[in-house]
Structure 1
Amino acid sequence: MSSDPWGRVDETGTVYVRKADGTEREVGSWKAGSPDEALAYFERKYDGLVVEIGLLERRVKTTDLSAKDAMTAIDHLRTQVDEAHAVGDLDALSTRLDKLVETVDARREERKVQKAKQSDEARHSKEALVVEAEELAQSEQWRAAGERLRALVDTWKGLPRLDRKSDDELWHRFSHARSAFSKRRKAHFASLDAQREEARKTKEKLVGEAEALSGSADWGPTAARYRDLMTEWKAAGRAQREHEDDLWNRFRGAQDVFFAARSSVFAERDAEQTENLKLKEELAEEAEKLVPVKDLKSARAAFRALNERWEAIGHVPRDARPKVEARMHAVERALQDTEEAEWRRTNPEARARAEGLTGQLQAAVDKLVEQIDKARTAGNNAKADKLQRELDGRQALLDQALKGLHEFGG
């Protein structure tokens, strides 16, 4: 017969474990060796339980193990301890499990408080996003407001969800604000398109009349009418880009036909036309000072005033006309290009497309660079050279896309 503080083996080989209150429980029998060997065997089983409880304690304290999973593991170990065929201080193990339950309960409460805090913070954040979105919905800064609304969506996606009812209500307001802005922006640009279409129709009529007058020999009244037509042309506004240049060429061509015929008839007025040339050269020089354009509105007004003086001067010698008129046309084109660039720069859809293309190309270039580095490192120069040729092509496209994006002021 042998014993230790927590167990004993009787003369029949039956092994018992003692509890703190002095009671004993049979845990097994041992027939193959000495009582000390029997106790050592069942003590090792006890040590195994100690290790398992220690591991669970560490998991609870150092990982994000859920309270539910932790309690399941504790209940499992408690059953093992209660029914253990082992020799050792089983009551101490039960006490450790009790303390571990307290730890899990405390952590559950901490997480509950933390979750409530996070939910409250998320609610305030989403409410702030909704308020800002509703303010932006009334903005007419189409590009800036559109970009900000897209940024707000990204921020929203990064926030935790609230309870379903609250989250749905806030998202409905947020989504409604974005839709309202998109609807207003669409209507705005539809209005611009309608204005350009109206300008095209007006200029078509002006071109028709200009072409009909091009064969007139009633020099004075016809020239005056051409000046009126020019005033109406400028007042009509710009048509769509694809129509504007063609209409202008036809309109100006009709005038050129008429004034060329008048010039041939008034060839004897060469002296007067020479003086006209001098005056127009002075006006051209004055107009050229408007470039580069710094203030489009004032430059337009100044150019209109110069053009009115230009038209009032009359014709110049035919051989000198292309050169001096080209100078004025160059200034006018610079003004038109500036106006067109401003329109493109404030066009959010075109900018969004340019940004999207640039982002895709940049991602492709970055990926190719990484693949080339890996191929070089692996000693696969043939693959690296092939990838380099592909990279050169993508880089050229990216450079072109960046150049286009730069036109938007970005």
Structure 2
Amino acid sequence: MSSDPWGRVDETGTVYVRTADGEQVVGSWQAGSPDEALAYFERKYEGLVVEIGLLEKRVRTTDLSAKDAQVAIDHLREQVEAHHAVGDLQALRDRLDELVKTVESRREERRAQRAKQSDEARKAKEDLVVEAEQLAQSDQWRSAGERLRALVDTWKGLPRLDRKSDDELWHRFSHARSAFSKRRKAHFAQLDAQREDARKAKEKLVAEAESLSASADWGPTAARYRELMTEWKAAGRAQREHEDDLWNRFRGAQDVFFAARGSAFAERDAEQTENLKLKEELAVEAERLLPITDLKSARSSFRSINERWEAIGHVPRDARPKVEGRMHTVDRAIQEAEEAEWRRTNPEARARAAGLTGQLQGAVDKLRTQIEQARAQGNASKAEKLERELEGRQALLDQALKGLQEFGG
């Protein structure tokens, strides 16, 4: 008979293992010596030790699921409980029990982790839904559309929730996207309609602009082009494929008209510059009549100058006031000379002036006599009052005498 601390082999070749509950039969060995029998079943025990050690390592260092770990533990436990090995089987049971606790702890950790991930995923999806619902009301079609597409990609990268919660959130998310797409589609449909209206309106403006391009009615046509430009801006933009072509035609028609007007104005300016030179020469000729010494000759000469002036035509607008002012100065001098001559030769006016002068002279003489009398009487205050009155009458008399001299008297 052979034995070790954990087992023995009896005379019949039966192998036993010692446990807390007493000896348990491990098996029968007939192929060799008792020591070989014990060595064989001890190796089986060492094999179980190695397998349990490997399982412990897998549980600690890999993502082995709790279910798979439990299956492996149960399998090893069946082998330990079968008593087909010689060794400290209770130690193996204890290790398996600890491994069960470890697996359960890992199970709880993973359950808590999944719950946390689920809560985070729910919060993340709720945030996506809220943002999508806000974007659904946006009119920033390009940026909002790009952001919604990015939100979809973010959604796809998040874990699924329970079916009910996930479906409810997805329904809201999808509804927000659909609402935005519907509004954007309606907006661009309306925009297309507006652009079509703008195209039709601008085609009419182009047609009118092209019809006016050959006009030589410079002022009214230029004014109408300005009105057409205002109408063009108010019409809005047409479709991109039409806008540039319509604008090029519209602008081209204006360019034709304004180029022709510019050429005509250049010719007109050259002619008016020459007219100005001629009128300046006439103004010099008219100014030589000043001062007026021979009214009849001056009047005749100025009439001749004025006739030639009227025959010349327009001058540049900015030069007109100065050159015409020079002629007006000579014209006014002749008119003033005519008025002076008329006053000098008018008998009735001369008679009235002489009569007024006589009346004033009489009043002055009378006041002087009264002043002398007052002084003789010693009435100084009366004399001073009469002297002040005399000063006024004398001034009127001096003025009347001056007027009378204009009549040659």
Which residue in 2 is equivalent to 1:117?
116
Aligned-partner Cα distance in 1 for 2:246–2:125: 52
Alpha-carbon deviations, 1:69-91, whole Å to 9, x = none?
Answer: 11111111111112242211223
Which residue in 1 is equivalent to 2:292?
none
47-56 or 3-12: bigger deviation: 3-12
- Local SS of the residue matching 2:8: strand
Shift of 1:96: 2.0
Which residue in 2 is equivalent to 1:192?
191
Alpha-carbon deviations, 1:212-270, whole Å to 9, x = none?
Answer: 33444555444433332222223223323332332233223334444556566666413
1:4-403 correspondence to structure 2 within 5 Å = 4-33=4-33, 35-216=34-215, 218-259=217-258, 268-271=267-270
Compared CA separation, residues 128 and 73, structure 1 to 2 (3 A): same
Shift of 1:163: 0.2
AA in 2 matched with 1:55 = L
Shift of 1:11: 1.8
Shift of 1:17: 1.8
- Local SS of the residue matching 1:16: strand
- Local SS of the residue matching 1:161: coil
List structure 1 segments (4+ residues) > 4 angstroms apart after TM superposition: 215-220, 256-268
Aligned-partner Cα distance in 2 for 1:130–1:263: 65
Compared CA separation, residues 215 and 23, structure 1 to 2 (3 A): same
Aligned-partner Cα distance in 2 for 1:139–1:72: 56
Alpha-carbon deviations, 1:115-167, whole Å to 9, x = none?
Answer: 22221221122112211211121122333333332332232222211001100
Alpha-carbon deviations, 1:254-287, whole Å to 9, x = none?
Answer: 344445565666664134899xxxxxxxxxxxxx
Q: Does 1:2 align with 2:7?
A: no
Calculate the aligned-residue CA RMSD, in Å: 2.6
In the alignment, structure 1 segments of 5+ residues that lack a partner are 275-410
- Local SS of the residue matching 2:27: strand
Aligned-partner Cα distance in 2 for 1:128–1:246: 48
TM-score, length-normalised on structure 1?
Answer: 0.60
Aligned length: 273
In the alignment, structure 2 segments of 5+ residues that lack a partner are 274-409
8 Å contact 1:28–1:85 — kept in the other structure?
no
Shift of 1:204: 0.5
Aligned-partner Cα distance in 2 for 1:266–1:117: 85
213-222 or 4-13: bigger deviation: 213-222
Compared CA separation, residues 57 and 219, structure 1 to 2 (3 A): closer
Shift of 1:29: 1.1
Aligned-partner Cα distance in 2 for 1:40–1:272: 135
Aligned-partner Cα distance in 2 for 1:45–1:224: 113
8 Å contact 2:66–2:107 — kept in the other structure?
yes
Alpha-carbon deviations, 1:331-358, whole Å to 9, x = none?
Answer: xxxxxxxxxxxxxxxxxxxxxxxxxxxx
Aligned-partner Cα distance in 1 for 2:111–2:261: 93
TM-score, length-normalised on structure 2?
Answer: 0.60
Compared CA separation, residues 126 and 255, structure 1 to 2 (3 A): closer
Aligned-partner Cα distance in 2 for 1:116–1:196: 55
136-145 or 210-219: bigger deviation: 210-219
User: Kindly, what percent of the aligned residue pairs are identical?
Assistant: 83
Shift of 1:168: 0.9
Aligned-partner Cα distance in 2 for 1:270–1:63: 98
8 Å contact 2:14–2:25 — kept in the other structure?
no
Alpha-carbon deviations, 1:180-237, whole Å to 9, x = none?
Answer: 2222233333333333222211111112222333444555444433332222223223
Aligned-partner Cα distance in 2 for 1:91–1:265: 121
8 Å contact 1:43–1:88 — kept in the other structure?
yes
Structure exhibiting the larger radius of gyration computed from Cα positions: 2
- Local SS of the residue matching 2:76: helix
Aligned-partner Cα distance in 2 for 1:190–1:115: 47
- Local SS of the residue matching 1:18: strand
Which residue in 2 is equivalent to 1:328?
none
Shift of 1:32: 2.1
8 Å contact 2:7–2:17 — kept in the other structure?
yes
AA in 1 matched with 2:242 = H
